[in-house]
Amino acid sequence: MKQLIAEKFRAVYGRVPEIVAYAPGRIEFIGNHTDYNGGTVLGAALDRGVWVAVAGRADGRRQFASDQRGAPVELRVEEMGKRNGSESWVNYPLGVLAALPVFGAVAPAGFDYLAMSNLPSGAGLSSSAAIELASALAFLEMAGERPLREAVVKIGKHAENHFVGVPCGILDQGVSGFGQKNRLVFIDCRGPVFETVPLPGDAHFWIFNTHTKHALVDGLYAARHRECMAAAQGLGVSLLVEADAAAVEAGKAKLAPEVFKRAKHVVDEIARVDAAKFALAGGDLVAVGRLLTASHRSSQFLFENSTPELDFLVDTLTATAHVFGARLTGGGFGGAVMAMTSGAFGEQEAQAVAVAYREKFGATPDVLHAQTGDGAKLL
């Protein structure tokens, strides 16, 4: 891949890159909208992601290109405003550049930049965190800095929260930064504290990307964020992680009906993450699978961030042999469903699910047998 991006870089800029960095996408294994509520979450880094190649320029100009976009976007160093329309993808590297000084690092001045990806974008697999972390590693290396992994994670999150404007928690960047092959990343988002736990050998991941996306997805994400904060306030805690199921039940009268449902989802989901971690340690994939499906049902009925397409996939998958459990993965309101299966579930079984989906919705989901992979790194 380093060779490939170097060739592409040469095709765009007529010279070789000086630095290449990589960061993976991720699966949200379990812990739906728990991160910004201070809860716990488990995720897995994928073996696919975003590569970023850069080379310095003496004239102080910055050129941004992506293999998924057209001609490079050229900006002067002082042009740090948000981009719109076809240039809006540049907000990810630009947001990283804006975040660097906040973390005491120097943003490089002029450079040529190319992003290359083998990760579906907008599918709930966090291509956004991947491009942020790969960009951050490349820019930091240009500035001669080798920060701790945790700082790179925080720079990526800062870019997404404050520049792109998505109030996401630490899950996406944390898993992209700390992922390891055949392991899951467990994050206690209050610290945040990152650990990895082994993934039992017979756990396989299948992802069904529906390519559906609710038109108001960004607004809906922000609305859920607001409802969670309102729930915390109503319950007299600063974040929902400080409440538990009993406290939410006891405070029901003080919460609007939707706000109560959001709070119940979050506190139950945090309990499910912790139960899943325990079951993983015991190698009990049947128990883990039940928790995954319970997580989806809670998204469906309490957090209300599922869709008929995602529900259909979960219903179909959980009625199929060799599937331990299935759930929407990522923010919801469209996107992808993840199933954890045994090795006996194969391409044929996956295609049967895709065919059933096509018969109902007239469109075919992308099917991906996902492998876990390592976290962000310089190449």
Residues at the contact surface with ligand ADP, assessed by CB under 6 A:
50, 66, 68-69, 88-89, 92, 115, 117, 121-128, 131, 330
Q: Under 8 Å CB-to-CB from 118, ≥6 apart: which residues?
A: 48, 49
Beta strands of the chain (E only): which ranges?
19-30, 40-56, 61-66, 73-76, 111-117, 183-188, 193-198, 204-213, 323-329, 334-341, 366-370, 377-378
Rounded to whole angstroms, the Cα distance separating 321 from 340 reads 12
Give which of 47, 49, 54 is closest to 17, Cα–Cα.
Answer: 54
At its nearest, how many Å lie between Mg ion and the CB of residue 333? 12
110 vs 167, beta carbon nearer ligand ADP:
167
Least distance in angstroms from the C-beta of 99 to Mg ion: 16
Q: Which uninterrupted H or E stretch holds 83? A: none
Give the one entry of Mg ion, ligand ADP, none that residue 259 binds, where binding means its C-beta sits below a cut-off of 5 to 8 angstroms depending on kind: none
The entry of ligand ADP, Mg ion, none that residue 39 binds, CB within 5 to 8 Å by partner kind: none
Among Mg ion, ligand ADP, none, partner that 238 touches (CB below 5 to 8 angstroms by kind): none
Q: Residue 183 CB, nearest distance to ligand ADP (Å)?
A: 21
- Give the orientation angle of helix 217-235 with respect to helix 257-281, to 10 degrees: 90
Partners of 44 in the beta sheet? 27
If the CB atoms of residues 39 and 120 are measured against Mg ion, the closer one turns out to be: 120
Confirm or reject binding of residue 128 to Mg ion (CB under 5 A).
yes
Between 290 and 327, CB nearer to Mg ion:
327
- Output the CA angle 31-371-356, nearest 5 degrees: 75
Provide the minimum distance between the beta carbon of 321 and ligand ADP in the complex, in angstroms, as a whole number: 30
Shortest Cβ 164–ligand ADP spacing (Å): 8
Selecting among 35, 112, 172, 268, the annotated active-site residue is 172
Quickly tell me which residue has 């520049």 as its tokens.
163
At 318, list the tokens: 């959980």
- The stretch among 78-86, 121-129, 225-233, 267-275 that binds Mg ion (CB under 5 A) is 121-129
> Residue 330 binds which one of Mg ion, ligand ADP, none, with CB within 5 to 8 A depending on kind?
ligand ADP
Would you say 117 or 372 has its CB closer to ligand ADP? 117
The option from ligand ADP, Mg ion, none interacting with 125 (CB < 5 to 8 A, set by class) reads: ligand ADP
Q: Which residues pair with 76 in a beta bridge?
A: 61
Exposed, middle or buried: residue 25 (CB in 10 Å: 0-12, 13-18, 19+)? buried
Beta pairing, strands 111-117 & 73-76: unpaired
Residue closest to Mg ion when measured from CB atoms:
128
Q: Which does 234 bind (CB under 5 to 8 A by kind): ligand ADP, Mg ion, none?
A: none
Q: Applying CB under 5 A, which part among 127-135, 189-197, 261-269, 343-351 lies near Mg ion?
A: 127-135
Residue number with CB closer to ligand ADP (149 or 211): 211
- In the DSSP assignment, the letter for residue 372 is B
Task: Quickly list DSSP for 246-276.
Answer: HHHHHTGGGS-HHHHHHHHHHHHHHHHHHHH
User: Among Mg ion, ligand ADP, none, what binds residue 68 when CB lies within 5 to 8 Å by partner kind?
Assistant: ligand ADP
Q: What letter would DSSP give residue 54?
A: E
Residues touching Mg ion, count (CB under 5 A): 2
Quick one: which segment of 24-32, 120-128, 241-249, 370-378 binds Mg ion (CB under 5 A)? 120-128
- DSSP 8-state secondary structure symbol assigned to residue 300: I
121 or 364: CB nearest ligand ADP: 121
- Least distance to ligand ADP, CB of residue 238, Å: 26
Backbone angles phi, psi at 241, to 5 degrees: -60, -25
172 is catalytic: yes
CB of 373 to ligand ADP, least distance (A): 16
Paired residues of 183 in beta bridges? 198
Could you give the 3-state DSSP secondary structure of residue 3? helix
The one-letter code for the residue type at 297 is R
* Distance (Å, whole) CA 199 – CA 193: 19
Which residues carry out catalysis? 172
Binding site for Mg ion (CB under 5 A): 126, 128
